[in-house]
Structure 1
């Protein structure tokens, strides 16, 4: 009896390249994200993380290379691919003059779902993220943590197979952060895949089972978290790969005694 062929990765990036004028922001990136993984993408500011994720999720057209989600080529099948992906983009403004309920409902309707299904799922998500009490409040009046949670609810309402989250824990208080992590781990345990871009090395080390380090638009290391960090911490390994650490106590005038 022939064996079933292996399942395609959740995300497969090959030769992805993007220039902005003279700046080579992403330089022939190759990256494989296994299905069912909690994948961390780490790198310094300006490393090309956001640009890479924007191309991988159909938000920014690459100059070269290919991206596939569960074996489906993203840029040849953009609408179908986006149905498989939930995205939380760092720095992209929400329609914050809507209430929380209106925003999640709008996201569901945009994905082509029936209104009755959207209403049921929106109620479930607001309850899951403990946002019931502010469902009628304008998103512009939400705290940073509440805003992250409502944005994540929007990314989840169409039941994606892959979640791509750019700095989901930035400006989030510890309680909200813990609740978000629990929800994401539940998503992975149920068969989904999560990609998180973050500067918080300790958080990535504790949360992610796979990680890639990117700098200057290139992948410097990729694999399981244990493989990448080796015998050190992920932060120390990151600094070793990326470089730029300055050893010193600063100028004499800055010393108190």
Structure 2
């Protein structure tokens, strides 16, 4: 009898998830062992992630090497779950903006007349204050996160401007809630540049096991579902800088730390 292939192993794991109709919890060590790998490498982490994604199975949190270290220990557990239609929707009702009167926040008015001269200024003077208002702390934010993707003799390193997590929630340890792609002011005015930025943030989705992305040049802001299907993405919200204040409640409901924590906790229960 021939050796079981990685594709057949992925088929078996996917079948278990689909038949049980709920997330399968498994140690990283056990998952790697299923694929008959003796040790964890960037290449086999890439391979496992891709094989499961090809079968519409989400792997949360990511088992990839992020930055210079493995974010998960071998005895940490991950969830394998089906990418169901109902799991693609963020429940936005009744998310309370905690003790913050954003309608009286002068920052929203002040930025209307600002000119950010570089991409770094967009990051420091627009994105970081916005993330703070979405309740992400400095500890929740990984600036310039690299993702090491290896496939045989080919390898590449992707760099994410900002990767956000909830460092206070032990149940979501290692889970990336949101990725942010920054561009120089007015860069996204051209559709070709907007398309390029969307594809750039989409390229992080599978490897980070992250569903949602924010793309902005400070003038335009888009929130994107990065993973409705393997090769698809969907803009679920868009506004201009001058519309930011009136739409902040919607933005908070979609990508705040509180909202996305609730989303991923529910995902792992299914």
TM-score (norm 2): 0.26
TM-score (norm 1): 0.27
